[in-house]
Structure 1
Amino acid sequence: MCIDFRTIQFSQSLIFAIEEINNSSSLLPGVSLGYKMYDTCSSTGMGVRMAMALANGNENSTLDEPCTKPAQVQAIIGETYSSVSMAIAQSIGPFSIPLVSISACLSDKRKYPSFLRTVPSDYYQSRAMAEMVKQFGWTWVGALRRDDDYGNNGMAAFTEAAEQLGVCLEYSLPFFRTYSQEKVLRIIQQIKSSTSRVIVAFVTSWDFEILLHVFHEYNITGYQWVGTEGWITDSTVARLDKHKILQGAIGVALAQTKVTGLKDFILDIMPLQSAGSAIFTEFWEALFNCKYTVQNESEDATVCTGQEKLSERDNAFTDLSLMPIFCNVYKGVYAVAHTLHDLLGCTQTCPTKNTNSEISFLEHLKRVRFKTKDGEDVYFDKNGDPVAKYEIINWQTVEDHHDFVTVGLYDSSFPALNRLAVKMNSIVPVSVCSESCLPGTRKAVQKGKPICCFDCIPCAEGEINAIKCERCYQDYWSNAHRNECVKKEIEFLSYEEIMGILLTAVSIIGAFMTIIIAIIFFKHKNTPIVKANNSELSFLLLFSLALCFLCSLTFIGRPSEWSCVLRHTVFGITFVLCISCVLGKTIVVLMAFRATLPGSNVMKWFGPLQQKLSVLAFTLIQVLICMLWLTTFPPFPFKNLNYFKEKIILECQLGSAIGFWAVLGYIGFLALLCFILAFLARKLPDKFNEAKFITFSMLIFCAVWITFIPAYVSSPGKFTVAVEIFAILASSFGLLFCIFLPKCYIIIMKPENNTKKQIMGKVPFK
Structure 2
Amino acid sequence: FLAISSLSTKLLRITFSLSECGLMKTACWAPKLQVHLSLQLIKFTYIHLTSFTHAELIKCLHSVNLIDFRMAQTMIFAIEEINTNESLLPNVSIGYRIYDTCGSRLSSMSATMALMNGQEFAAGDRCNGQSPIHAIIGETDLTSDTTLIMYCLFVLCFLLQISPSATCECLSNKKDYPSFFRTIASDYHQSRALAHIVKHFGWFWVGAVNSDNDYGNNGMAIFLKTAQEEGICVEYSVKFHRTEPEKLQKVVETIKKGTAKVIVAFLSQVEMGNLFDQLSDKNIKNFQMIGVEAWITSESLMIPNSFHVLGGSLGFAVRKIDIEGFADYVTKEFWHTAFPCLQREGNSSQYGLNCSRYQDLLGLKNYNDDVTEQRYSNNVYKAVYAVAYSLHSLLQCTKKGGCEKSLTILPQQVKTVVAQYEVVNWQQDLNGSIHFKPVGYYDASLPPDQRFVLNTENIIWAGGQLEVNNLQCPGEYWSNAEKDKCVLKAIEFLSFTENMGIVLVFFSLFGVGITALVAILFYSKKDTPIVKANNSELSFLLLFSLTLCFLCSLTFIGRPTEWSCMLRHTAFGITFVLCISCVLVKTIVVLMAFKATLPVSNVMKWFGPAQQRLSVLAFTLIQVLICVLWLTISPPFSYKNMKYYHEKIILECSLGSIIGFSAVLGYIGLLAVLCFILAFLARTLPDNFNEAKFITFSMLIFCAVWITFIPAYVSSPGKFTVAVEIFAILASSFGLLFCIFGPKCYIILFKPEQNTKQHVMGKNPSKSF
Superposition TM-score, scaled by structure 2 size: 0.48
Flag the structure with larger Rg. Answer: 1
Superposition TM-score, scaled by structure 1 size: 0.48
